[in-house]
């Protein structure tokens, strides 16, 4: 645990009692504060009380007396589409509102660092797609190279639940736009921006607000080195705002599918090969095509981002390449769960929006595509250019019929449930084809989260293959 600094003797309200909220309460208490816990969900309060916490109803005026700050969990809106009523009350009263990320950055460094040979460093990864894979990949490369590292944030543990970093440690954080938007302190050593596509727009008041939330990691954070994907206009803009000129190697530009020009430092993937260029010459090259844990162009972009971050930390190309080759991938993200009878079965349940589904559809051939769930604004019409490899679509969930209307003449079947979709796809798949779960929709109509959806798909595939044996 990382005790929060500068809060001794203060009453601090904690709103939201999920993983990060409870870790925040414990870290505040360890720092000498009096945390006042609350969640509008009775179930969350019951779980907190079972762990020994006392909940304080933030709807009561007396609870707010002498409260020094309100710490908000990521899922709770503070501005759009409208502020949570407790957040609004704090802001109207002039009470500072922050989150666990802000507390982490202001509390990480301690007096012990004065005696370290190598101060700990923080790598923070943001973007629309690929954040989790890039974060996990950086962490894997570091540990495979013998560098002590911890991973947290939007993946794994809450940031304040980490162990205080020791001499030479690296902390790798995945940060969502919800987390970067509200944090009052953002001071990573290396910041990574993977890409940008529409997502969470209601929470940020549109695309501009969404990008602005992610941009804070660079504009407010002032990292020593920035690794920025320049495949979208926003990335090009961010790179331009970050660098002092073409040769500024404090910025590492990354791209997928094209060669980058004569910049100070760049890493790009083209035709399955990763290349690193610095000061006008190539310094490293890796064939990514046979790395099973990183299939498809979107994962090649993730590899470029991880390569750039690890090079910024001082790792040698051979160390990074070894880490890439031993990376097994993350569950629910283009995860190969089985291969039998010449058919591959891939779980990409994390493909909850059109852009991430498009990347999955471009990574495989002969696709039996399982899609659907709780569709997002705009449906799946934007996927039409990426359906060339799809043999048939098996539609599930709330948006199955809406999605069917957008598929035109492409063969499809409304299955409604995962059970029916998997059974149909497995029965019809031929050698050389891929049964792919890439829903292009949220999971909340039928599952509590995308992980449970992916686990159900995996269980059904494994059960179906067992019956064949």
Do 400 and 349 have their domain in common? yes
Give the C-alpha separation, 305 to 288, whole Å: 14
Q: What pLDDT is attached to residue 32?
A: 98
Residue 372's domain is classified under what CATH number? 3.90.190.20
Q: Give me the mean pLDDT over the 121-146 stretch.
A: 96
Which residues carry a binding-site annotation?
127-133
Residue 262 and residue 397 share a domain: no
Residue 398: pLDDT band by 50, 70, 90 thresholds?
A: very high
Instruction: Round the average pLDDT of the chain to a whole number and report it.
Output: 95
Number of structural domains in the chain: 3
Residue 168 is assigned to a structural domain of this protein: yes
Which three-class secondary structure string do you get for 91-146?
HHCCCCEECHHHHHHHHCCCHHHHHCCCCCEEEEEECCCCHHHHHHHHHHHHHHCC
Whether residues 67 and 116 fall in one domain:
no
pLDDT tens per residue across span 37-67: 999 999 999 999 999 999 999 999 999 999 9
Query: Is the residue at 303 inside a domain?
Result: yes
List the domain range (segments joined by +) for residue 379.
335-463
Whether residues 138 and 248 fall in one domain: yes
- Same domain for 301 and 220, yes or no, is yes
**Local confidence band at 221 (pLDDT 50, 70, 90 cut-offs):** confident
Domain boundary pick from 98, 132, 154 = 98
* Cα dihedral 56, 61, 66, 68 sign: positive
Q: CB–CB of 195/162 below 8 Å?
A: no
Q: What is the mean pLDDT of residues 164-183?
A: 96
- Give me the mean pLDDT over the 383-401 stretch: 97
Q: 236 and 263: one domain?
A: yes
Residues 116, 52: one domain? no
Supply the pLDDT for residue 29: 98
For residue 81, name the pLDDT band (cuts at 50, 70, 90).
very high
Q: What CATH number is given to the structural domain containing 314? A: 3.40.1190.10
**Greatest C-alpha distance within the chain:** 68
Find residue 103's DSSP bridge partners. Answer: none
pLDDT in tens, 199-220: 778 899 999 999 999 999 999 8
Whole-angstrom Cα distance, residue 469 to residue 464? 9
Domain end position, chosen among 82, 98, 114: 98
State mean pLDDT over 388-416: 97
pLDDT digits (tens, 9 = 90+) for 264-296: 999 999 999 999 999 999 999 999 998 988 988
Q: Which residues pair with 173 in a beta bridge?
A: 124, 152
DSSP E strand boundaries for 397-433: 412-416
Measured distance CA(295)–CA(298) in Å, rounded: 8
User: What pLDDT sits at residue 385?
Assistant: 95
Q: How confident is the model at residue 152 (pLDDT cuts 50, 70, 90)?
A: very high
* Arithmetic mean of pLDDT, 350-367: 92
Q: Give the residue numbers of the binding site for ATP.
A: 127-133
Residue 378: per-residue pLDDT: 87
Residue 83 per-residue DSSP state: -
pLDDT score, position 338: 93
Domain boundary among 66, 98, 130: 98
Question: Are residues 114 and 89 part of one domain?
Answer: no
Question: 1 lies in a domain?
Answer: no
Give the global pTM.
Answer: 0.86
Query: Among residues of the chain, what percentage have pLDDT more than 70?
Result: 100
Confidence of residue 361 (pLDDT cuts 50, 70, 90): very high
Q: Would you place residue 141 in the very low, low, confident or very high pLDDT band (cuts 50, 70, 90)? A: very high
> Stretch 247-266: mean pLDDT, rounded?
93
pLDDT at 468 over 90: no
Q: For residues 312 and 229, what is the distance between their CA atoms, to the nearest angstrom? A: 15
The answer to whether residues 110 and 221 belong to one domain is yes
Residue 241 has pLDDT above 80, yes or no: yes
d(CA 160, CA 158): 6
Dist CA 394 CA 428 (whole Å): 11
pLDDT at 197 over 90: no
Name every residue whose Cβ is closer than 8 Å to that of residue 237 and which is 6 or more positions away in sequence.
none
Any domain includes 160: yes
User: What integer pLDDT is reported at residue 296 of this predicted model?
Assistant: 86
| pLDDT beyond 90 at 156 | no
Whether 469 maps to a domain, the answer reads no
Tell me which of 199 and 378 has the higher pLDDT. Answer: 378
CA distance 141 to 238: 26
If you average pLDDT over residues 285-310, what whole number do you get?
A: 93
Residue 4 lies in a domain: no
Same domain, yes or no: 84 and 191: no
Residue 313 inside a domain? The answer is yes
pLDDT at 129: 87
How far apart CA 421 and CA 441 sit, in angstroms, is 16
Any domain includes 2:
no
Give the whole-angstrom CA distance, residue 265 versus residue 247. Answer: 7
State residue 245's pLDDT score: 92
If asked whether residues 132 and 205 sit together in one domain, one would say yes
Asked if residue 353 and residue 264 are part of one domain, the reply reads: no
């Amino acid at each position: 645990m990382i005790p929060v600094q500068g809060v001794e003797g203060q009453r601090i309200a904690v709103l939201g009692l999920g993983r990060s909220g409870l870790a925040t309460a414990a870290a505040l208490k360890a720092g000498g504060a009096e945390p006042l816990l609350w969640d509008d969900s009775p179930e969350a309060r019951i779980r907190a009380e079972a762990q020994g916490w006392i909940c304080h109803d933030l709807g009561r005026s007396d609870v707010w007396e002498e409260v020094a700050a309100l710490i908000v969990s990521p899922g709770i809106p503070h501005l759009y589409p409208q502020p949570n009523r407790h957040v609004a009350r704090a802001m109207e009263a002039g009470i500072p509102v922050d989150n666990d990320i802000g507390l982490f950055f202001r509390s990480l460094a301690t007096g012990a660092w004065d005696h370290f040979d190598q101060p700990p460093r923080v790598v923070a990864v943001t973007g629309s797609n690929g954040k989790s894979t890039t974060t996990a990949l950086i962490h894997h490369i570091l540990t495979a190279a013998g560098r002590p590292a911890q991973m947290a944030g939007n993946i794994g543990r809450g940031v304040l639940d980490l162990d205080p970093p020791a001499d030479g440690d690296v902390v790798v954080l995945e940060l969502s736009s919800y987390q970067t938007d509200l944090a009052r302190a953002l001071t990573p050593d290396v910041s990574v921006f993977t890409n940008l596509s529409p997502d969470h727009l209601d929470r940020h008041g549109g695309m501009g607000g969404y990008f602005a939330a992610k941009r804070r990691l660079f504009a407010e954070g002032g990292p020593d080195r920035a690794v920025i994907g320049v495949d979208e206009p926003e990335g090009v803009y961010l790179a331009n705002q970050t660098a002092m000129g073409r040769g500024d190697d404090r910025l590492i530009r990354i791209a997928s599918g094209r060669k980058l020009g004569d910049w100070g430092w760049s890493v790009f993937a083209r035709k399955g090969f990763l290349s690193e260029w610095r000061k006008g010459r190539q310094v490293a090259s890796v064939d990514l095509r046979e790395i099973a844990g990183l299939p498809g162009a979107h994962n090649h972009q993730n590899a470029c981002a991880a390569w750039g971050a690890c090079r910024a930390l001082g790792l040698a190309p051979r160390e990074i390449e070894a880490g890439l080759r031993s990376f097994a991938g993350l569950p629910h993200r283009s995860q190969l769960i089985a291969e039998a009878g010449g058919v591959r079965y891939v779980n990409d349940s994390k493909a909850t929006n059109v852009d991430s589904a498009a990347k999955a559809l471009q990574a495989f051939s002969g696709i039996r595509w399982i899609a659907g769930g709780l569709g997002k604004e705009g449906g799946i019409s934007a996927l039409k250019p990426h359906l060339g490899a799809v043999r048939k679509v098996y539609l599930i969930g709330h948006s199955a019929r809406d999605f069917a209307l957008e598929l035109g003449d492409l063969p499809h079947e409304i299955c409604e449930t995962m059970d029916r979709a998997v059974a149909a796809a497995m029965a019809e798949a031929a050698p050389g084809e891929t049964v792919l779960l890439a829903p292009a929709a949220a999971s909340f109509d039928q599952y509590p989260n995308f992980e449970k959806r992916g686990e159900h798909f995996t269980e059904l595939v494994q059960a179906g293959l067992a019956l064949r044996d």
